[in-house]
Every structure is written in structure tokens, then in C-alpha cells.
Copies of this chain bind each other. A is one copy, B any other.
Amino acid sequence: MIEETHIEALRVLLGEKGLLTEPADMAAYETGARYDKGRAAFVARPASTGEVSAVVAYCVKNGIALVPQSGNTGLVSGSTPDGSGRQGVLSLDRLTTPFQLNRVNRTLTAGAGLRLSDVNGRLEDAGLFFPIDLGADPRLGGMIATNTGGSRFLRYGDVRRNTLGLKVVLADEAGTVLDLGRGLRKDNTGVDWKQLFIGTSGAFGIVTECVLNLEPLPRQVATALLVPASPDRVPELLVAMEDALGSYLSAFEGMSRNAVAAAFSHVPSLRNPFQGGVVPDFVILTEISRTSPPREGEQPLDAVLEEVLGGIWEREETPLADAFVGPPAEMWALRHALSEGVKHSGRLIAFDLSFRRGDIMRFLDHMKAEMPQHFENVTICDFGHIGDGGVHFNLVVPADDPRLSDGAFEARLREWVFMVAVEEFGGSYSAEHAIGRKNQVFYDRYTPEAVRRLAAGLKAITSPGPLGSVTF
């Protein structure tokens, strides 16, 4: 699908290890984590910013489209090639240097191809971590391209908040390298260009290196499962917890009965902590943590949490129906099993939505009531991050449902959910997965004309070459 002279030229630029063209070698790069199988013209694996620049410049000059790929753990078809066989994959997986810790600055200068688990493993001895808590194990470049947030957003924010610098290669004929930010926390000397490359799916440039803010590792953690008096009391409970605990609070995660039940049936070793094993309609996993080590005379965190919950419990018309403090490992194990549990309970049609915090439960309630009138036999297995407004709105249909045989059913379902979430509830159709080919149609629909025009203009002045899976 691509001329052999181009392959040869790229091989000269990248060396043998740096270019894959055999179908067997390329398969993993062509296949998404959950959706899609595309076909790559080649897989380029540059090992330095200079090599990225050389490959990009060559491809732009010769009209060859590139899709940047990081850990390939995304869920929106953002990092895999389409089926044409004409797109090359540019993988970040060999960009694993530098790894420079600046202890006093609390920053790490890191290659964009490093995995999150690797980064945090290597930082542990310094008592620091990159505070994005995810189920998946992406590489840094992809985390930047999606601006992911995760389960402890409430305390630490998203990738954007924790990125102090980027090195980026633009898709222009020169393969221009931009060096944006050197680890300063305060620097207001013009446009903060690095923001442009965060959350934009790699369409405006390829991140090869980053400077990350690090945080002190938590040294004390306590968790509780909370059962709200009814789902609509959840916002009140969140406010009560924030009022009492302030910045101690590091997670406030919502879990629907269906999601919890799916986790229990998929992972039988999980302990069911609910009275008589009956899972409530909706459960909150909350966490408080301290980065300071335990100190003599200080109340243990478990006791702090008990006391705060006791105070809420004793209120007239308390928003709590039940609450129990328990071991963080066990409680997080339940939370982390939800995703797999839901995936195994049928065919999963997943949405990564977000709302203003007060609107989440109203949206969920609305969908529960409306779903049967619009689509029969679709189970809502939502869970998510009430503290930051994110909802993993998962729909499950029986795996053998005949409606799945063509794409029309899923397309109608997606249309409807996005319409309600965006148009009726003012939410986002992509909280932390970014756009990708999967959400292109919704970008086109829900982005105001003036903003789309600006984005197209910006694309033309930064990376006019064919780059990425999204058309801005």
C-alpha cells in the first residue's frame, strides 16, 4: 500500500529495530485495547526526539499519514490505524529516556514512552509519585494526549495540572521540535503552548518528552463504603464529607448495584461486605489520606473517618443509610474489579461522560427511568468519579443479542445517550478518553462552528501534515 522506496528511506532513518513491516510484528500495534483492528503501512519506532523529527519530516514531505501510538490502552480508537493500510503507526515505545528526577523541584523529566507503572516504581524510593491513578497502565505520551484523570482527581487533578513541560515534534516539513517549559511552576511569558498538546489526541504534534510534577506518596490511608439514604442524597453526602474533611478527601467514587454485582460474580474471591450480601442500589467508596507519616498523639485516620461519618449519621434526616470503614486494599479491590466484571457480563457499550457534580445522580436517575422506553433489555452498570463529575456509563446487552449483528443498534444507542448527556444535562461526551476516531462524529456535532474553525486554523499553523486519528 505504500511504495517500497519510502520503506527503505524510513529504514535508513530508523535502523532495523526502528521499523516494523512484517504483519506478525505489526499486529499488536494495529489492534486497539478494546475496539478495532486496523492495518498499518508500517510501524516506526524512533528512539529519540531527533528520530521522531526525521520520520515526521519525511512523511509530511511525502504525504504519508502517521498515527502516533503510546501505550495503546485507550478506548476511543485514537491510537490505531484505520483499515486502509495507508497510515503508518509512530510508536513511542522506545522513547524511554530521559528519566531525570529533580528532588528539590519535585519534578521528573521523562521520555514519553515510559509506562506509568514503571515511572512510579522507580520513584518509590524517593517517596514521590506521579499522582494519576488509573486502572490501565498507559505510557506517558498517551496520558498527555488524553489528559486522563483517574480515581484521585479530587485530590491531585488531571495530567494537565501535573505537566510542567513538553517536548513536541510538529507535523510540518521540517519536523519542527518545540521545547515547551523546563519545569518552572510559574512562568507567564506568552501563550502556554504545551496546553495545546494536552488532551488533543496527538493531532497537533507528537509529545516525545515531558516534565511532570510529582507529589509526596500518601503514608496513611483510610477508606469506607457509604450507602446513601437514596441515590439523590449523594450530592449532599459529598458536600458533607468535603465540609468535614477538606483536602484529606482523596476519592469519592460511585458504584451502581449492577456494577458491584457484576464484580462479585466475575471475581468470586471478593468479600461481599454488605448486610446479608444484599448489594444496595448505589454505593460510594470514599478515601481519606495523609502524605505525612503517622505521628505520636495523632488520631489514626480510620478513627478520623469513623468520627466524621458518625457526625453525619447523627444528623436529622441523615443522607446516610449505612457506612463502614474497612481495609483500603479490600475496598479498592472491589472498585478495581468493576471494569472487568462489567466487561464479562455481556456485550459492553461504554461511555466516558462527565457532568457538573450536582447533575450526575439526576442523569443516572433519568436514564434508569427512560432506558426501558427507548431500548429494551439494556442493563445500566455505571460507576465513576462523583467527586470530579466523571461517570463511566456502561451499558450491557446479552452477548448473543441479535441486535448486535449490525452496527445500527449500537449507533442508535450511542446517539441517544450522547444527546441526553450533552444536550439535556450539559455534560461532556468524553471526560478523560479524548476523541479518537470513535468520537469524531460527536466532535463534529457538538463543537460550536466558531471553535471548529479555530481548531482547523490552529492545525494548519502547527501540524499541517496528516497526523493522528482525529480531524480537527
Contact = CB atoms under 8 A, between A and B. Distances in A.
A181 to B, nearest CB: 10
Interface in A302-328: 303-304, 307
B426 A182 contact: yes
24 contacts: A103-B358, A106-B242, A147-B192, A153-B185, A157-B161, A178-B451, A186-B389, A186-B431, A187-B428, A187-B430, A188-B430, A188-B435, A189-B429, A191-B455, A192-B198, A216-B246, A218-B246, A244-B293, A247-B291, A248-B292, A297-B299, A299-B299, A454-B461, A457-B461
Given A185-B153, A192-B198, A216-B242, A304 B295 contact: yes
A438 interface: no
A195 interface: yes
A376 interface: no
A107 B356 contact: yes
Contacts of A304: 295, 298
Contact of A432 (B182, B188, B388): B188
A23 interface: no
A272 interface: no
Nearest to A293: B244
A469 interface: no
A199 interface: yes
A372 interface: no
A235 B183 CA distance: 16
Residue among A107, A160, A190, A248 with max Cβ neighbours from chain B (10 Å)? A190
Nearest to A298: B299
A257 interface: no
Contacts of A297: 299, 303
Interface string A422-463: 000011111111110001001100111011001101100110
Task: Give the 9 A-B CB pairs with smallest separation, nearest first.
Answer: A246-B291, A104-B358, A457-B461, A195-B195, A187-B428, A186-B431, A188-B199, A186-B354, A104-B235
On chain A, which size bracket covers the interface? 35 or more
B102 A189 contact: no
A420 to B, nearest CB: 16
Given A184-B356, A193-B454, A297-B299, 11 more contacts: A105-B356, A176-B450, A179-B448, A182-B356, A184-B389, A190-B472, A191-B458, A193-B451, A215-B247, A246-B291, A454-B461
B355 A292 contact: no
A245 B291 CA distance: 7
Contact of A295 (B107, B199, B299): B299
A187 B457 contact: no
Nearest to A157: B161
A30 to B, nearest CB: 24
Contacts of A388: 185-186
Contacts of A354: 184-187
Contact of A192 (B199, B355, B448): B199
Interface of A: 102-107, 127, 146-147, 149, 153, 155, 157-158, 160-161, 176, 178-180, 182-193, 195-196, 198-200, 204, 215-216, 218-219, 235, 238-239, 242-248, 290-293, 295, 297-299, 303-304, 307, 354-358, 385, 388-390, 426-435, 439, 442-443, 446-448, 450-451, 454-455, 457-458, 461-462, 472
Given A178-B451, A242-B106, A356-B184, A443 B292 contact: no
Contacts of A431: 184, 186-188
B450 A178 contact: yes
A440 B423 CA distance: 43
A10 to B, nearest CB: 24
Contacts of A204: 191
A147 B195 CA distance: 14
Nearest to A245: B292
A38 to B, nearest CB: 22
A421 to B, nearest CB: 11
A161 B158 contact: no
A76 to B, nearest CB: 10
Contacts of A448: 178-179
A238 to B, nearest CB: 7
Contacts of A180: 451
A216 B189 contact: no
